[in-house]
Amino acid sequence: MWSAQDVARDQVRRQASGLDVAAVAEKVSEATARERETAEQLRRGGSFSEFQADPERLAAIWAAKHMEWRRVRDLMTQSGWGAYEPERDTEGSTWAQDREDRRGGALAARAAFEARRREEAHELQAELWLSASPGRLIRAVADRAGLVPAQVLTQLAERVVVSEDGTVSVPPFTPSR
């Protein structure tokens, strides 16, 4: 769900909290080396057995982490911060809020999908074969109402009444859109 940049920004934001400029500079150096290693491994076509990860994604994440660690280092240097505080990083906070909004939207969409699936579990889909005479009647009614035969049958089924003795009937009605 998250891009390589999203993953990098989230991890750097969490890991950088409370670090001073020297520690962040070490993280930049580490990210530089890891970016170079993963890019080289990707060029050679080798796998990352220690991670069992997609080599392209891992290389992209390390490239993004390198860029994000440099951004944090530059921000701290320009702002004169003694330690990185994620709350003071307006750009990082904006990105974090955006990720959270997207995550919330994705979770809401998933919940709606699951609700639809639960509802669909109670639905009935049937293929109905009618003999010629009832089929002609249903088609004629559907034509007059401007519907397709399946819509007329759906309206019939929605109006079914089952009496106490098990008799099934449909009160008179006019099919409509």
Verify that 155 and 96 share a domain, yes or no: no
Residue 169 belongs to what H/E stretch?
strand 168-169
- In-domain check, residue 10: yes
The total of structural domains in the chain comes to: 2
User: Both 79 and 146 in a single domain?
Assistant: no
Going by the DSSP 8-state scheme, the letter that residue 123 receives in this structure is -
Which tokens in the block code for residue 95?
């990105």
Q: How far is CA 84 from CA 62, 88, 94, 99, 107, in A?
A: 20, 8, 16, 20, 30
Residue 177 lies inside a defined structural domain of this protein: no
Owning domain of residue 158: 132-169
Determine, yes or no, domain membership for 86. yes
Task: Say yes or no: 76 and 136 in one domain.
Answer: no
Whole-number percent of the chain with pLDDT over 90: 77
Same domain, 98 and 147: no
Give the residue with greater pLDDT, 88 vs 2. 88
- Beta bridge partners, 169, equal 161
CA dist 23 → 67, 69, 70, 87, 113 (Å) = 16, 11, 12, 19, 45
- Position 50 scores a pLDDT of 54
Calculate the average pLDDT of the chain.
91
Please report which confidence band the pLDDT of residue 148 belongs to, taking 50, 70 and 90 as the band edges. Answer: very high
What is the rounded CA–CA span in Å between residue 4 and residue 8?
6
Q: Quick check: is 127 in a domain?
A: no
pLDDT tens-place string over residues 78-93: 999 999 999 999 999 9
SS3 84: coil
Q: Evaluate whether residue 164 is within a structural domain.
A: yes
Structural domain includes residue 126 = no
Shared domain for 76 and 43, answered yes or no, is yes
pTM score:
0.60
Compute the average pLDDT of residues 52-62.
83
